[in-house]
Amino acid sequence: MTLFAALRLPREILFGKGQRHALPIVAAKLGSRALICTDERLAGTAVFAEMLASLKAASIEVFVHDRVQPDVPRDTVAICVEESRAFAPDMVIGIGGGSCLDMAKCAALLLSHGGQLQDYYGEFKVPGPTLPLIAVPTTAGTGSEVTPVAVISDPDRTLKVGISSPHLIAAAAICDPDLTMTCPPGLTAIAGADAMTHAIEAFTAAHKNGGAELAQKHVFIGKSALTDHFALLAIKLLGRSLEKACSDGADEDARADVMMGALAAGCAFGTAGTAAAHAIQYPAGALTHTAHGLGVATLMPYVMNFNRSFSLHDMAEIARALGLTTGGSTDELALAAIHEIARLFAAIGITTTLEQLGLAEDKLDWTAEQAIGIDRLIKNNPRPLDLASMKQLVRAAYDGDLAAAAL
């Protein structure tokens, strides 16, 4: 197979302790009137007040929308846009968790192109560039600071929806691990496990034969040498430090590893895409009202075992990235990777079955039917899936039967 790769990323990615102080300089290069999307928690902190003051000192006018809610309910975006339109922002800054960053992407979209959010659901529906966006994450998980997607919840739809377009990629991502120091252990675990799942699903994604149209017609296009590079970096960093960041949130080195891991995972899945664990989580999350990261992480070991025979070499490489280098055949290493991911997730408090996640047994078939319908994720899975195998996989994850997932 000839070498094919694609990568779409922000023009500027800044990472490191104290990098948040670069915000006014980065912003001044993009404009002079900033809509800031954040939530009430962050808006009440001294760190946020300091960031606002630094923007004002750089002669940047700001309008703060501080009511972002988790999972970005659709109509809250319309409210943010209505309130800020008269201010006439020339850039949008998202500061907060993935929800604040996704709100900033959606606000930039509607302020630039009008209409309703529903007009843009799916891939490549954004007609052109939006107001430039600066993403400043305060969780280490979603990777939204570098990805081309915004995820929102729509009251008219059971499953969450995505708007995917290269035009949604932030102009600049500023990742300062100091901003994650206040994340409690539960949030650190769920966000970090989401990042690990992004990295694993991107690294084991289908390898597509890259014709010239592939990347022009699809946002998520499978794994390549470029996305693999970021995915392996993410697996290595998260593997060595996620547990530590959960048990000792004051450990600055662990926090930095986990934030860099989340960033690198975003760089990987933002082009490669994710697969079956994310597909099953959409309906499972809708029914159980559980956090996105908790659902995908619960599913990950089962999905890995389902895919194992199709991704043996990739999974052996995941094992090496996790530091499992004690010899062994490719088969043994692949299995060791799955056990280590299951161990790590259990150690940080991730639920281990769909039953524990709160899924009702009589909803298993519905969950499988909805998941198999999410074409872009299903097509990205290394092992082909049909409804029968999806039902079996969902049942195995409900029963906690890792071996049954591989059948």
Ligand X SMILES: NC(=O)c1ccc[n+]([C@@H]2O[C@H](COP(=O)([O-])OP(=O)(O)OC[C@H]3O[C@@H](n4cnc5c(N)ncnc54)[C@H](O)[C@@H]3O)[C@@H](O)[C@H]2O)c1
Residues found near ligand X in the complex (CB under 6 A) = 39, 41, 70-72, 96-100, 102, 138-139, 141-144, 147, 149-151, 160, 179-180, 182-183, 187, 191, 194, 292-293
Could you give the CA distance from residue 374 to residue 368 in angstroms, rounded to a whole number?
Answer: 10
Which residue's beta carbon is nearest to the bound ligand X? 97
102 binds Fe ion (CB under 5 A): no
Minimum Å gap between C-beta 218 and ligand X is 16
Of the pair 147, 241, the CB lying nearest Fe ion is at 147
In the 8-state DSSP scheme, what is residue 163? E
For residue 39, give the 3-state DSSP assignment: coil
Q: CA 37, CA 42: separation in Å to the nearest integer?
A: 10
Report what 200 binds from Fe ion, ligand X, none; CB cut-off 5-8 Å by kind: none
Which is nearer to Fe ion, 300 or 372 (by Cβ)?
Answer: 300
> Residue 317 binds what, of ligand X, Fe ion, none (CB under 5 to 8 Å, by partner type)?
none
99 binds, among ligand X, Fe ion, none (CB under 5 to 8 A by kind): ligand X
Q: Does 314 bind Fe ion (CB under 5 A)?
A: no
- Which one, 103 or 336, has the nearer CB to ligand X? 103
Contact segment (CB under 5 A) with Fe ion among 65-73, 94-102, 189-197, 216-224 equals: 189-197
**Contacted by 144, from ligand X, Fe ion, none: CB < 5 to 8 Å by type:** ligand X
Rg of the chain over all Cα atoms, to the nearest angstrom: 20
**Measured from the CB of residue 10, what is the shortest distance to ligand X in angstroms?**
13
Whether the Cβ atoms of residue 131 and residue 108 lie closer than 8 Å to each other: yes
Least distance CB 262 / Fe ion (angstroms): 10
Separation of alpha carbons 253 and 271, rounded Å: 28
Distance CA 12, CA 10 (A): 5
Distance from C-alpha of 286 to C-alpha of 315, rounded to nearest angstrom: 30
Interface region with Fe ion, contact rule CB under 5 A, candidates 44-52, 102-110, 125-133, 187-195? 187-195
Nearer to Fe ion, 279 or 335 (CB): 279
Closest separation in Å from C-beta 52 to ligand X: 17
Distance CA 167, CA 123 (A): 11
Whether residue 123 contacts residue 7, with contact meaning beta carbons closer than 8 Å, is answered with no
DSSP, collapsed to helix, strand or coil, labels residue 24 as: helix
Query: Per CB under 5 A, does 194 bind Fe ion?
Result: yes
Where on the phi/psi map is residue 61: left (φ > 0), alpha (ψ -120 to 50), or beta?
beta
Comparing CB distances to Fe ion, the nearer of 177 and 270 is: 270
Number of residues that bind Fe ion (CB under 5 A): 1
Query: Least separation, in Å, of the C-beta of 263 and Fe ion?
Result: 14
Count Cβ atoms within 10 A of the Cβ of residue 40 and give its class: 0-12 exposed, 13-18 middle, 19 or more buried. exposed
Q: State how beta strands 91-96 and 33-37 pair.
A: parallel
CB of residue 142 to ligand X, shortest distance in Å = 4
Instruction: Convert 110-127 to b/e letters by CB count within 10 Å (16 or more is b).
Output: bbbbeeebeebbebebbe
Question: 150 contacts which partner out of Fe ion, ligand X, none, CB within 5 to 8 A by kind?
Answer: ligand X
Buried b (16+ CB within 10 A) or exposed e, 173-190: bbbbbbbbbebeeebbbb
Q: Say if CB 179 and CB 137 are below 8 A apart.
A: yes
The stretch among 164-172, 193-201, 245-253, 364-372 that binds Fe ion (CB under 5 A) is: 193-201
Shortest approach of Fe ion to residue 89 CB, angstroms?
28
User: What's the CA gap between 270 and 248, in Å, rounded?
Assistant: 30
183 binds, among Fe ion, ligand X, none (CB under 5 to 8 A by kind): ligand X
DSSP letter (8 states) at residue 73: B
207 binds, among ligand X, Fe ion, none (CB under 5 to 8 A by kind): none
Nearest distance, CB of residue 389 and ligand X, angstroms? 25
The least CB distance from residue 207 to ligand X, in Å, is 22
Q: Catalog residues that contact Fe ion under the rule CB under 5 A.
A: 194
